[in-house]
Structure 1
């Protein structure tokens, strides 16, 4: 090649490469550029445990279907927030996280191992949570959950434990915390070691105000006394599933509304609200229970939106999930391209209520009973009037397994996941008829959606890791944690 040709070629390369080099340098600067955000006085962090896009979309499709026959969705309040992103959930040891490690990432900005609460992977270093930082800055702090308050997600905002199963230690840390408002499912008093005071006794000695019903909750007034308000549901002392609630049950939305009233002050507050039974329903592959608890979770978010509307220049609301549960799919092989979300409305009680109120007494009173004897209750509570030959075979097999006791072999787990065979088979049949399917009884590794409304909400746009939720929220709270632009 002649020298003149080489010069022309080199010049052309410069023309092509220089803009790319300038862009790359700018991109590197953007990656390390610290973002400045306005500061909020009030921050709400809502966590739908087990809630990813499919759980949200299933609830929206169901709401639309029960109104009319047209195809579409009726959006939830939080899915209409102006700022929306996707969030990865893997932890330090697994692509599929659990609630302890996911909660630690969201609450502290640090990855850890599944089962570990606010400690590093060596289980020797303890992390400070955003709730503790907010309290140290003079704000009031509330933690609310539809499951037990010593469960992994709520515990990630006040406790540090090598194992999420150390319920008594976690409860004692709650009692000794300086937070202002705890509400939701009751602490596990049955985990109290022999000879030790239970956590309720410790809290009473420390002067906590304890409310165990609506009358006591409504009687509370804002002040400096710490509040512990709990409900004792029929199963596990968590809140009952939304579809099982009765008039005297206190909802997640009511606990949130009351918390806002009790926490509101001139120094502001941080409130974490968990919809924990979305996760429990998805573990059991109960779409109706999951959908209804997602709607109940959205109703709690609406309480925060009402507060935001009164304080739009001072409030940030964040809504996210910690992971997806169950591998929920909006589509099933047997229905191909069809869906029938109205089928979900046929179910009148959760799998948990069916086990407790129907199956348990049936087994006690009819130890040699038949499926035909149980069918009237199945029709009443699941709306299943007739069965195909395939469904009949599945249900008969499951009924026999429930009556005799399910085995621990691989086939039994794949079919029933450790739940009552007849109950999980009924939800599978109904869900499949609706056009829904499940891949797991555990968590999955898909990203979750994150939504934000209010001061600094624009930080939550994009695709980022769950540890960045901590960074972004702490920045908006003015807690001295810098946020870098997403890569």
Structure 2
């Protein structure tokens, strides 16, 4: 028998054992989803994730954990549809998170800085409100304030993304089922400008309110949940590892995702939720490799939670993407690149932890010791330590979106490059076509290249919800 005839049937039999060629099982799984309704949708966003971030997280996972990342594993096992997405806003080829999320949430491109408001004041009804009106449970989970741009883009419309107190008030009128993340100060009467106690408003509407992990875990099944675990954004995963207080009181993104699914999974009409790793973006803005890498890996853990549920459930579409690139980090060729990158496995703190803890009165040796403590013993020079210290006497300053104290994040990342082999092109967003992957019912209809606004209609169609609202 010729080899091509032997293989023609697509399977091999040896000693009575049927061997299925690689990819066949995956194709069967895809065929299972064909034209099937997505009862549930989990929309996963690693905010500000450049291609290099996804790449480095996978390399880390293989070298440290002995396995691919869960995201890349979907590609290796041929279980997901994969494509690219054009994320431009209405007024720029480089989007911000508000316009990016609005393109998915409201189905229209809007100007950077606004949330589901068109250039002429048009108000676009966000998709979670549409799904709620259609009878589904809905929710958002994030590692930044729940009022931040990405959750807000799926939930409300407002002219200014920075009006987070207003967004918190708008949330109280929506009747959403799960809202979890940071942002306590936008709900707290003592910190709001209008002194309104939004927690009381939510409780009076039947919500359970959680402020820590124990309260989240104890939240009952029969109530919607509002949970704010920190004043603003949640701590970076790296800093969480080294603090028993943080670990005991603030849940990981995976833990929040699991709780949200459990609260909504038994609803007869299904659920739709957005899960965001918002601090991947914040770390990219700060060129903070430990913050970036470990928060991307935390996102990957949350992705596993969503995929495990979807594989068992069979009726859940998981969408995995990013809203834009940011700082475009990557590994740079050199004979020490392997060892340098592996050194990050022993980093115990973020650059934010390092820089926020330095005082103008600190000595050169104190700064060198602090960096060595956080970064696996690396030894910077006295001159480098002096330059870092100059920012605390305000002789020098750096600007940045999440750098109100004008601390030397860029300088520190440049110093670290010798020890990590990680380089950065900027400290801001880039116009990358973003990675897009889908698993579950409806994924067979995904195109290999999509415009961001196409996602809005795509999700409604996948769930067979009429776009009539």
TM-score (norm 1): 0.80
Q: Which residue of 2 aligns with 1:343?
A: 343
Q: Say whether the 8 Å CA contact 1:150–1:187 is kept in structure 2.
A: no
Question: Superposition pairs for residues 252-401 of structure 1, below 5 Å?
Answer: 252-264=253-265, 265-312=267-314, 314-331=315-332, 335=334, 338-339=337-338, 340-356=340-356, 358-359=357-358, 363=359, 367-387=360-380, 393-401=383-391
Shift of 1:447: 1.0
Q: Distance in 2 between matches of 1:194 and 1:45?
A: 33
Q: Say whether the 8 Å CA contact 1:211–1:230 is kept in structure 2.
A: yes
Q: Distance in 2 between matches of 1:337 and 1:381?
A: 20
Q: Distance in 1 between matches of 2:47 and 2:395?
A: 28
| Residue 156, structure 1, aligned to residue 153, structure 2 | yes
* Secondary structure at 1:304 match in 2: helix
Shift of 1:481: 4.8
Range 132-141 or range 464-473, more displaced: 464-473
Q: Any idea what the Cα deviations from partners look like across 1:268-318, whole Å, max 9, x if unmatched?
A: 000110110000010000112111001111111111111112212x11100
* Secondary structure at 2:465 match in 1: coil
Q: Which residue of 2 aligns with 1:97?
A: 95
| Residue 174, structure 1, aligned to residue 146, structure 2 | no
Shift of 1:456: 1.1
Q: Any idea what the Cα deviations from partners look like across 1:374-403, whole Å, max 9, x if unmatched?
A: 22222111124434xxx65444312222x2
Shift of 1:178: 1.5
Shift of 1:473: 1.4
Q: Any idea what the Cα deviations from partners look like across 1:53-104, whole Å, max 9, x if unmatched?
A: 2110011112223358xxxx83334651421111111111011100000000
Question: Superposition pairs for residues 55-94 of structure 1, below 5 Å?
Answer: 55-66=53-64, 74-77=68-71, 80=74, 81-94=79-92
Q: Distance in 1 between matches of 2:317 and 2:180?
A: 21
| Residue 241, structure 1, aligned to residue 231, structure 2 | no
Q: Which residue of 2 aligns with 1:5?
A: none
Q: Say whether the 8 Å CA contact 2:354–2:370 is kept in structure 1.
A: no
TM-score (norm 2): 0.83
* Secondary structure at 2:269 match in 1: coil
Q: Any idea what the Cα deviations from partners look like across 1:324-382, whole Å, max 9, x if unmatched?
A: 111223326xx4894531122232111222234x32xxx1xxx4433123222221111
Q: Distance in 2 between matches of 1:315 and 1:456?
A: 9
Q: Say whether the 8 Å CA contact 1:450–1:460 is kept in structure 2.
A: no
Q: Say whether the 8 Å CA contact 2:139–2:179 is kept in structure 1.
A: yes
Range 181-190 or range 94-103, more displaced: 181-190
Runs of 4+ in 1 over 6 A off after TM superposition: 416-419
Q: Say whether the 8 Å CA contact 1:48–1:276 is kept in structure 2.
A: yes
Aligned residues: 420
Unaligned runs of 5+ in 1: 1-35, 483-487
Shift of 1:159: 1.4
Range 466-475 or range 99-108, more displaced: 466-475
Q: Any idea what the Cα deviations from partners look like across 1:448-486, whole Å, max 9, x if unmatched?
A: 10111111112334012111222221210112359xxxx
Q: Which residue of 1 aligns with 2:213?
A: 214
Unaligned runs of 5+ in 2: 1-33
- Which one has a bigger Cα radius of gyration? 1
When residues 78 and 128 of structure 1 are mapped into structure 2, their CA distance, relative to the original with a 3 A threshold, is: farther
Q: Say whether the 8 Å CA contact 2:106–2:124 is kept in structure 1.
A: yes
Q: Distance in 1 between matches of 2:417 and 2:292?
A: 11
* Secondary structure at 2:162 match in 1: coil
Range 422-431 or range 206-215, more displaced: 422-431
Q: Which residue of 1 aligns with 2:446?
A: 460
Q: Say whether the 8 Å CA contact 1:47–1:273 is kept in structure 2.
A: yes
